[in-house]
Structure 1
C-alpha cells in the first residue's frame, strides 16, 4: 500500500477523553452535553429538521402532490397504452379479416375466371363450328354460282355458235328469191 494515506498519531492521548477505572485500566470517556451523547444530539437534530420540513415548510404536501401528479401521469400513460393496444388489436383483427376476405375474393375470382374461360372455350368452339358451316355454305354457294355461270356461259356460247351456224347455213341455202317468198308468207300471215 504505497499510496495509502499517512495517519499522524500522537504518542499522548487526550487526557480529557480517558479516565482511570477502579481496577486501574484506562477507559475511554465519550463527550456529552447536558447528559446526552453525540448520536443522541444528532437524532434530536434530525427529528427537529424533519418536523420543520414536514410541518413548517409543508414539504409533505409538495411531496404528496408531486407523487399524486406522477401517479396521475402514469395512469394517463397506462390508459393511453391500453387504448393504443386496443386500437392495435382492432387493426390486427381488421387486417386479418381483410386478408381472409382477400383470400376468399381471390378464390372466387379464380373460380369465376375458370368458369368464364370454360364458357369462352365453349362459345369459341360453337362459333368455330358455325363459322366452318357458314364458310362451307359460302363455298358451296360459290361453287353453285360458278356452275350456273359456267352453264349460262356455255349456253350463251352454244346459242351464239348456233346462231352463227344458222346464219351461215341460211346464207348458204337461201338466196334472194327464198327471202322474198318468206317475206310474202309473213305478210300474208298478218
Structure 2
C-alpha cells in the first residue's frame, strides 16, 4: 500500500497535471498510462509478486550465505590441512636431519675404525718385517759362527798337522775311535 501511495504522489507532481485541459479524460495519454500503470501494480500486488520476489531474493541470499559458510568451512579445512602438512614437513625435515647426523656419525666412526685397522695392519707388517730381520740376523750370525768354526777348525788342523808327528796323529785317531765306540755301546 505504501508503494501505491508513493506512486500517486510521484505522478501528482508530474508535468502532466500542469497541462491545460482535463486530466481525467481518456483522450489524455498521460491519464491512460497512469491508469494502466496503477492496474499493472495492482495485478502485481494481487499475484503477490513482491513477496515472491522477496522470497526469491531471500532464497538467493540463503544460497549465497550457505556458499559462504561452505567456503569458510573449506578454507578452515584447507588451513588445517596446510598446518598438518607443515607439521609433517617439519617432522620429515627433522627426521632427515637426524638421518644425516647419524650418517655423519657412522661415517666418522667408520673412518676412525679404518684408521685403527690400518694402524694395526701396519703394526703387524712392521712386526713381521722385524721378525724377518731378526731371523735373517740370527741366520747370518749362525752362518758367520759356522764359517768361523769351520775356518778355525781348518786352521787348527793345519797348525796341528804341521806340529804333530805321524805317531801322535795315530795315537789321537785311536783315542777318538775308543771314545766313539765306548759312547756308542
> TM-score by structure 2 length?
0.53
- The structure with higher relative contact order (CA 8 Å, sep 6+) is 2
- The Cα shift of 1:148 comes to 6.3
1:31/1:38 contact within 8 Å kept: no
Give the equivalent residue in structure 1 for 2:11. Answer: none
126, 134, 150: which one aligns with 2:124:
134
How many equivalent residue pairs? 154
CA distance in 2, matches of 1:148, 1:41: 147
CA distance in 2, matches of 1:116, 1:144: 41
Give the secondary-structure state (helix, strand or coil) at the position aligned to 1:98.
Answer: helix
- The Cα shift of 1:82 comes to 0.9
20, 23, 42: which one aligns with 1:32:
23
Give the equivalent residue in structure 2 for 1:173. Answer: none
Residue 112 (1) aligns with residue 102 (2): yes
CA RMSD of aligned residues (A): 4.6
CA distance in 1, matches of 2:96, 2:80: 24
Comparing both structures, which one devotes a greater share of its residues to helix? 2
CA distance in 2, matches of 1:29, 1:51: 29
Residue 79 (1) aligns with residue 97 (2): no
Give the equivalent residue in structure 2 for 1:49. Answer: 40
Deviates most, 80-89 or 110-119: 110-119
1:53/1:59 contact within 8 Å kept: yes
Give the secondary-structure state (helix, strand or coil) at the position aligned to 1:120.
Answer: helix
1:32/1:38 contact within 8 Å kept: no
CA distance in 2, matches of 1:125, 1:34: 122
Matches within 5 A, 1:1-190: 29-33=20-24, 39=30, 41-56=32-47, 58-146=48-136
- The Cα shift of 1:150 comes to 6.6
CA distance in 1, matches of 2:35, 2:145: 152
Structure 2: gaps (5+ residues):
1-18, 155-169
Structure 1: gaps (5+ residues):
1-27, 166-177
Give the equivalent residue in structure 1 for 2:157. Answer: none
